[in-house]
Structure 1
Amino acid sequence: MNPASALSTYPSLKGRPVFITGGGSGIGAAMVSAFAEQGARVAFVDIAEGASDALARQLAEAGHAAPWWRVCDVRDVAALQSCIAEAAAELGDFAVLVNNVASDDRHTLESVTPAYYEERMAINERPAFFAIQSVVPGMRRLGFGSIVNLGSTGWQGKGGAYPCYAIAKSSVNGLTRGLARPLGEDRIRINTVSPGWVMTERQIKLWLDAEGEREIKRNQCLPDKLQPHDIARMVLFLASDDAAMCTAQEFKVDAGWV
């Protein structure tokens, strides 16, 4: 199956300003590329300068509009909100926000200190709320908007290798459902996309071993490994006008993990 080049075309995304957190690599980079290929005006932040710069150059060389991007540590809420404001001043009010940034570092219950717990929440939970807070005024000016929060199926499968990550990612559905009605009054949609085990470079390098291969074969209904562009496909749909009546929902892209 071909990657992003095989994505459907959504005319409503052409020229539409889109902001993505954690867009420099992995699933985030696949989404940045997918939106750029749709002709959207893409902005993203990431802490990885080298990967972000390479992605922007690659898209420009492929003939797409180079994305606006900045190095940003999303643990700094003021810096994140400043980047969103700066990007909006250049690209226009954002019609789409994708809260993608996350870090699934492994840890045990016994090893967690209050400082580590706060740091995990500062990456995996807090940025989504404050990014939403930043873009909603612009969406209200536009009269519409789509917010996509990246969740996870890992905690739903009772994975025990990252309790702090599980707490943060389980809260995503609460954020989505808790804001759906007040935002919906202004035709702003908000949904969760929960990926299964996606074969990013990080996952392959750190976690995919022989037992992981067996786990995929045992638990997925579909035989193919999930790729970043598989998640981008669902996000594009939810960002587009084709999903105009979809809100307050969780959409799983996990190859039927059981």
Structure 2
Amino acid sequence: MATQRFAHYPSLNNTPVIVTGGASGIGELIVRAFCEQGAKVGFLDRDEARGAALAATTGALFEPCDLCDIDALQSAIASLNETQGPARVLVNNAARDDRHDWREIDAAYWDQSMDTNLRHMFFAIQACAPDMARAGGGSIINMGSNSWWEAGGGFPSYATAKAAVHGLTRTMARELGGDDIRVNTVVPGWIMTERQKELWVTPEAIEKHRDRQCLKTLIDPVYVARMVLFLASDDAAMCTANNYMVEAGSI
């Protein structure tokens, strides 16, 4: 593939941004992409070592936080808003696609999966939206997944949570549209993050997945970050309540 020439968005320069789960994987690429645009970036993550290292190399602000602790989450968001100004962009990125057998999970595991992959998104919106509205509006981007679109197996609680993200996006787009706040879902396919490569990428799995993609190039996380930038920018001013796929035409 030819070297990509990516866009610069003047509307993101000096814009306060908050990213959840920003210390690694797709989240790290999102943090770096916003920093390259000149945005004022704050991010949350429970991985203190990686978060501190990323903050040191990018200049982004890092708030260590377990997103399942809603009080801690909302306190961290308040701290970032106080330091860098009310967020005009919120990226609800954090999630974990842990594999599990539907016959073996119990109620505690199910609840933990919902906490990890869905619940914090609503409460991050709740913490950000009032100040975002008073600041003149903004963009909220929730990270979905094409796993449930494809009827993928091996992680039913994760797929259920990710399906619910789309409902959250649609209803909050209606709730917040009057305040000029846009809410969208980015829908990644199988993205080649470090974690995916370490845990689940095998030659057999890659061959099977290439057959499902219209484009045969494996998806680098940078392309998810580029879609997030577009939806955060003024270029996407009339985009809300919708899904934006980054899955190479996977079927």
Same fold flag (TM > 0.5) = yes
TM-score by length of 1: 0.95
1:132 matched residue in structure 2: 125
Q: What displacement does 1:222 show?
A: 0.8
Gaps of 5+ in 1: 60-65
Q: For 1:148 and 1:93, how far apart are their aligned partners in 2?
A: 16
Counterpart residue number, 2:14: 15
- The Cα shift of 1:2 comes to 7.9
2:98 matched to which residue of 1? 105
For the Cα contact (< 8 Å) 2:210–2:218, is it kept in 1? no
| Equivalent of residue 230 in structure 2, options 234, 237, 240 | 237
Give 1:216 deviation, angstroms.
Answer: 2.2
Aligned identity (percent) is: 50
Aligned equivalents of 2:177, 2:6: Cα separation in 1: 28
Amino acid at match of 1:208: V
Q: Per-residue deviation at 1:225?
A: 0.8
Kindly state the Cα deviation for residue 143 of structure 1 after the two structures are TM-superposed: 1.6
1:32-47 alignment, distance < 5 Å: 32-47=31-46
Q: 1:6 to 1:71 in 2, by over 3 A?
A: farther
Query: Could you say what secondary structure the match of 1:132 adopts?
Result: helix
1:57 to partner: Cα distance: 2.0
- Cα drift, residue 223 of structure 1: 1.6
Question: 1:115-155 CA deviation, whole Å, 9 max, x = no partner?
Answer: 11111111101010000000001111112110000000011
CA RMSD across the alignment: 1.2
Runs ≥4 in structure 1, deviation > 2 angstroms? none
CA distances 1:43-99 after superposition (whole Å, capped 9, x unpaired)? 00111112112212222xxxxxx1111211101000000000001000000000000
- Which residue of 2 is the match for residue 213 of structure 1? 206
Question: In the alignment, residue 100 of structure 2 is paired with which amino acid?
Answer: H
Matched with 1:120 is 113
Write the mapping of 1:184-203 to structure 2, written as runs, cut at 5 A: 184-203=177-196
Q: Counterparts of 1:163 and 1:79 in 2: how far apart (Å)?
A: 28
Tell me the distance in 1 between the aligned counterparts of 2:215 and 2:43: 32
What TM-score results when the alignment is normalised by the length of structure 2? 0.97
Q: Which residue of 2 aligns with 1:84?
A: 77
Q: Which runs of 5+ in 2 are unaligned?
A: none
